[in-house]
Structure 1
Amino acid sequence: MKKIVFYISFLLLVLVGFSSFGQERKKLEKKHKKIKNEIKQINNLLFKAKKEKGNALDDLKDLSQKISARERLIETIRLETKQLSKEIQANEQQLEKNNSELKKLKKDYSDMVVKTNKNRSQQSKTLFLLSSESFYQAYKRLKYMQQYNDYRKKQGENIIVKSTEIKKFNDSLIQKRKSKESLISDEKSQKKEIESDKKNQESLVSKIKKQEKKYKRDLQKKIKEDKRITARIDKLIRAVIAKANKGKKTTKKASSGFVLNAAEKKLLASFEQNKGRLPWPVKGIITRRYGVQPHPTFSGIKINSPGLHIVTKSNTDAKCIFNGKVLALQSQSGGKKSVLIQHGNYISAYNNLENVYVKKGAILKTGDKVGKVFTDKVSGKTKLLFVLFKNTAKLNPAKWIRTN
């Protein structure tokens, strides 16, 4: 009985171990797939766009992003390979144990068959029963023969079950070894790609250094333009909040935030409940994240991004992330436009639009088209600047939209 309990406990531990291995590897496989898709998007959106004139600074930033993604992919592949090695080792140990058990089962079965064949004849069975001293003894002998036959049958079935288990473990082992070989091959391929990318990176760094002053001047000019656009949007938001609150009874200052009615408060609560699950305004990749960050090339220069810079396919329409009302439209330099949508006391801003499909005051639903995203002829990129506010305070949109 103790042996049976020990065997069952051991089997449960093995099954739990394999389940744990499998779950961990599934997570890594999911991450692997996600990063590969990210690299594919980077290639399609950042490197296949038609450019009238290349900018080494932008090209370097794009290349650095791709290298970073490949490095993350290689690390994930290494973890997958390590996990597979553990699974293979566990499979081999279990296979060895199963083979040992099968060998013992076959030996026991063989010994049983030999013993049975010595007294195989029907006559010997009849004599064994007839030689009983009492009916009770004859009954006991008959039950014994039945139990013996059942046990022999059970042993035969156990051999078949154990053989099937071994075949499954063998098949699994073969598949895992193939997967491991595939991962090792993938890792080598990614390393070659990184070597090529890093050579191009060095070439771009060298080119930038030769004209460092020019690139720095252009960068500072761009930073000033971004600040100017951000300031205009901030000013517009303060103005529309003041206008929205005009005539409403409140002790708040007009510029401190929206004064909401019952319906707007309900919308606000619904918006907040969906934090982390809101849809992306466009499908694409984030090339610049929210907040203050050091410039990837020039030390000492910091960039303050008011939102997410998302590069997408050309001719893409930005979509409303949640039910709301068009609060304001604004024109920017170069014919570009911005749309601000109110969701209670939250505002989603869609900047760098070429065309706008909505009018001020329009009621929109989640997924409604807001406008066509502008494609820069020089860089060839189609990029949306997506900003999120709570009243006048900027928020990190990445915390509100769902992870891809």
Structure 2
Amino acid sequence: MRAKFSYHICLLLVTLFLAQVTGHAQTNEQKALEAKRERLQKEIQDINRLLFAEKKEKGNVLDQMESLDKKINVRQQLIRVTNQQSNLLNRQINSNIRNIGKLRADLKLLKEEYGILIQKSYANRSQQSRLMFLLSSENFFQAFKRLQYMKQYTKYRKEQGEQIVTKTSELTTLNRELTDQRKIKDRLIVENQSAKRELMKEMNAQKNLLSSIRQNESKYAAAIQAKKKEARKIDQQIEKLIRNAIAASNKRAGKTSRSDRFILTPEAKILASNFSANKGRLIWPVEKGIKSQGFGVYKDAVYPGIKHQNNGVIISTDQGAKARAVFEGEVIAILAVPGGNKGVQIKHGNYISTYYNLSNLYVKKGDRVAAKEELGEVNTNRSNGKTQLKFYLYKDTTRLNPEDWVYQL
């Protein structure tokens, strides 16, 4: 009887241990998904604040299309993450239901076996029965063993009763968790339904804008080409200034053989090494904002057949925001694109960070700057109300993806 009872206790403990390990892993996954969902919700709020706060002038639908495209993409990510949370909760709920069922069955069996123990103890409860059990021993050693057995039996019975109380408490906790999980799932379902309704509104708005653009196709196609031309002009000047800085630096070092790579002094090597060691942890080039356009090739929001190349990232921020250095370094160039705005280039060993679309500059060529030092005010476009910084990162003449270097960009 005791061996059978111990077997059930062990089985119950193993079941609970596995449930706790699985539950812990799922809890961590749930926390990660919740953090991601909160980030996406904040990003949508920032998009509304930074990209839709100003009323767009008539005819400026290309900017609206890009903003809507960004918002729709983030909204779709939010819906996917919420679905993942809901599915994970389903698995947790089903797992808890199975564990509760198993606990109830095991506890029922344990209580039945414990009842048999109590009945036997009751039948032999009299002092006379215990005394006769001891006196009927064949020798002193057997009497001593029987006395030890009686003590152990009493202790064992007490322990089993305590185990049942403990497991009953754990069963109550599991039931409470199950109730909480169902409430969270219901809330996620409501939020997801709301997100889907908003997504449909945004997609309909995008469809109407697209229809408007199609009616003036030649006008907007020309605007897209002009935008691509302006971007190429900025990229060309950035890379020209980098090559000029490399040539000038290497000439001062007495090295003229390399034109695509900085010849570094020992101090510059240390700075470059420190910069490289901070990959993925660099601060944002503005205090607050959202990434409105990422690095690399992307499809046009209006004409998917048209591809755009972005050699940096575009960050939307608040009006009056200041660009700031992502790392310590030296200002090696000031950009002034004809018909455009200003920019600043900073050298960090053989890494170069560029901050473009500034209206007022606070630094000049040759200045040493520290991380977070303000470089200038980010320009606000009067026609669409957007305040956007174009941020680029290079290693010598090689383009780098800022999203790999700046923390959570």
Asked if structure 1 preserves the Cα contact closer than 8 Å seen for 2:294 and 2:314, the reply is yes
Q: Which runs of 5+ in 2 are unaligned?
A: none
> Residue type of the partner of 1:215?
Y
Q: Deviations over 1:218-239 (max 9, x none)?
A: 2222222222232223322322
Change (3 A) 1:106 1:375: same
Asked if structure 1 preserves the Cα contact closer than 8 Å seen for 2:294 and 2:312, the reply is yes
Partner of 1:261: 265
Residue from 343, 360, 369 that aligns with 1:364: 369
Partner of 1:241: 246
Residue from 93, 116, 119 that aligns with 2:124: 119
Asked if structure 2 preserves the Cα contact closer than 8 Å seen for 1:319 and 1:368, the reply is yes
Partner of 2:402: 397
Asked if structure 2 preserves the Cα contact closer than 8 Å seen for 1:326 and 1:363, the reply is yes
Give TM-score, length-normalised by structure 1.
Answer: 0.92
Pair 1:101-2:78 in alignment: no
SS in 1 for 2:382: coil
Asked if structure 1 preserves the Cα contact closer than 8 Å seen for 2:242 and 2:397, the reply is yes
Mean CA deviation greater in 345-354 or 272-281: 272-281
Pair 1:278-2:282 in alignment: yes
> Residue type of the partner of 1:259?
I
Q: Distance in 1 between matches of 2:304 and 2:35?
A: 35
Q: Distance in 1 between matches of 2:161 and 2:304?
A: 75
Q: Deviations over 1:276-317 (max 9, x none)?
A: 221111232222222333312124433222211111111111
Shift of residue 10 of structure 1? 4.8
Pair 1:21-2:9 in alignment: no
Shift of residue 96 of structure 1? 0.8
Asked if structure 1 preserves the Cα contact closer than 8 Å seen for 2:15 and 2:99, the reply is no
Residue from 68, 76, 94 that aligns with 2:73: 68
Asked if structure 2 preserves the Cα contact closer than 8 Å seen for 1:52 and 1:377, the reply is no
Partner of 2:181: 176
**Percentage of pairs with the same residue:** 42
Q: Distance in 2 between matches of 1:122 and 1:67?
A: 81
Q: Distance in 2 between matches of 1:52 and 1:287?
A: 20
Q: Deviations over 1:41-70 (max 9, x none)?
A: 211211123545561111111112111111
SS in 2 for 1:327: strand
Q: Distance in 2 between matches of 1:371 and 1:293?
A: 29
Shift of residue 334 of structure 1? 5.5
Shift of residue 214 of structure 1? 1.1
Q: Distance in 2 between matches of 1:118 and 1:222?
A: 96
Q: Distance in 2 between matches of 1:301 and 1:106?
A: 73
Mean CA deviation greater in 354-363 or 342-351: 354-363
Mean CA deviation greater in 112-121 or 339-348: 112-121
Residue from 113, 136, 152 that aligns with 2:141: 136
Partner of 1:86: 91
The equivalences for 1:3-402 within 5 A come to 3=7, 10-53=15-58, 55-253=60-258, 255-282=259-286, 283-333=288-338, 336-402=341-407
Asked if structure 2 preserves the Cα contact closer than 8 Å seen for 1:54 and 1:379, the reply is no
SS in 2 for 1:246: helix
> Residue type of the partner of 2:273?
A
Shift of residue 153 of structure 1? 0.5
Asked if structure 1 preserves the Cα contact closer than 8 Å seen for 2:247 and 2:256, the reply is no
SS in 2 for 1:286: strand
Count matched residues: 403
RMSD of aligned Cα (Å): 2.2
Shift of residue 184 of structure 1? 1.1
> Residue type of the partner of 1:319?
R
Asked if structure 1 preserves the Cα contact closer than 8 Å seen for 2:57 and 2:384, the reply is yes
